[in-house]
Amino acid sequence: MEKTRAVTARPSPEAARDIPEATVARLPVYLRALTTLSEQGTSTCSSEELAGAAGVNSAKLRKDLSYLGSYGTRGVGYDVEYLRYQIAREIGVTQDWPVVIVGIGNLGQALANYSGFRSRGFRVVALLDADEARHDEVVAGLEVRPFSDLEQIVSDHAVAIGVIATPAVAAQDVADRMVACGITSILNFAPSVLSVPEQVDVRKVDLSIELQILAYHEQRKTQGAAS
């Protein structure tokens, strides 16, 4: 009676391959909302409640969850712990991800100290900086090491994810070296467009771009009031 896609009750890794990007980007938001609910002692929630906590509408939430499987109970809702685990497993944060941060300026230090990484399965294994003057400095309990140690560290810790927090001018070089070492996922805070091989994923966080998007809308609000 069920549709073809849903027939495989526990979706195998293969079957689950086609989760839309927009859904993938929201799964961590749901995960965080479930963690909050769990900490508040909530053991069951409806799609309406969870959607509220995550800041989306409930139709979208249910549609998103339907790509993972059927983890709810009609007429009842979702078991918070169970759903939390299923989403964590789907994202991959039930395992430990060693991460290396390159560029230990203000932002790099803030990232090294950010407790939100550790609690979500990410472990910062090394801090690297090209500036010799910074070496042996200790940040967040880790010694800052020369950039040339990258290869050794990546191979020692099986690092798959690299974070770039260098100035723009250095970012492409760092990315090239990361790729050469076998890193296949990069989070880039430098304001520059990286070119990498197809199999390497790059995500970009650009603080001033976010402000500019706000400014665009802000400008129109004010204009509207003036005209």
Partner DNA sequence: TAGATTGTTAATCGATTAACAATC
Binding-site positions for NAD(+) read 103-108
* Residue 79 three-state SS: strand
Q: Is 10 in the site for its own copies (CB under 8 A)?
A: no
Secondary-structure breakdown of the chain: helix, strand, coil percentages, each rounded to the nearest 5: 50, 20, 30
Phi, psi of 193, rounded to the nearest 5 degrees: -85, 120
User: Of 5 and 220, which has the nearer Cβ to its own copies?
Assistant: 220
Q: Is 45 in the site for its own copies (CB under 8 A)?
A: no
Token look-up 């909530």 returns 42
Q: Which residues bind DNA (CB under 7 A)?
A: 1-3, 6, 20-23, 45-48, 56-60, 62-63, 65-66, 70-78
How many beta carbons lie within 10 A of that of residue 220, not counting itself? Answer: 10
User: What does 75 interact with, of DNA, its own copies, none (CB < 5 to 8 A by kind)?
Assistant: DNA
Site for its own copies in 131-150 (CB under 8 A): none
d(CA 80, CA 43): 5
Q: Is 53 in the site for its own copies (CB under 8 A)?
A: yes
d(CA 207, CA 188): 11
How many beta carbons lie within 10 A of that of residue 162, not counting itself? Answer: 26
In this chain, which of 7, 40, 136, 227 binds its own copies, going by CB under 8 A? 227
Q: Which residues bind its own copies (CB under 8 A)?
A: 13-14, 17, 24-25, 27-29, 31-33, 53-55, 90-93, 95, 97, 99, 105-107, 109-111, 113-114, 116-117, 120-122, 160-161, 163, 184-187, 191, 193, 195, 199, 201, 203, 205-223, 227
